[in-house]
Amino acid sequence: MDPETLERVLLVTCASLFVVIGLNVLIYLAFRKGEPVGKIEVFKRAADRLRQPWQEEQAEMGELARRVEALRQEEKDG
């Protein structure tokens, strides 16, 4: 491997490690300041979101369908 390629590989490796370690430090600092209950709540919300990723959107679509049906019913009646 020529020296120029080796330098690029090392640069990419070091930059990647810097980003990964930096993100981990930021996550650690964010959780260290919070209460244990807050952390549990964050993980609970994340688990709920993973189980049903479109739950909020489905609820909103249901509400929209209900409103459209009410408007159509009004239009028929009046």
pLDDT tens across 18-46, in order? Answer: 999 998 888 887 777 766 666 777 788 88
Q: How far apart, in whole angstroms, are the C-alpha atoms of residue 56 and residue 62? A: 10
Q: Which two tokens stand for residue 50?
A: 């993973």
CA 54 to chain CA centroid, Å, is 12
Look up the pTM and report it. 0.42
Average pLDDT, whole number, for the chain? 86
Q: Provide the 8-state DSSP code for 54.
A: T
Provide the residue ranges of all domains of the chain, joining segments of one domain with +: 1-33, 35-78
Q: Which residue has the higher pLDDT, 30 or 3?
A: 3
Which helix (H) or strand (E) element contains residue 64? helix 55-77
- In the prediction, which pLDDT does 60 show? 94
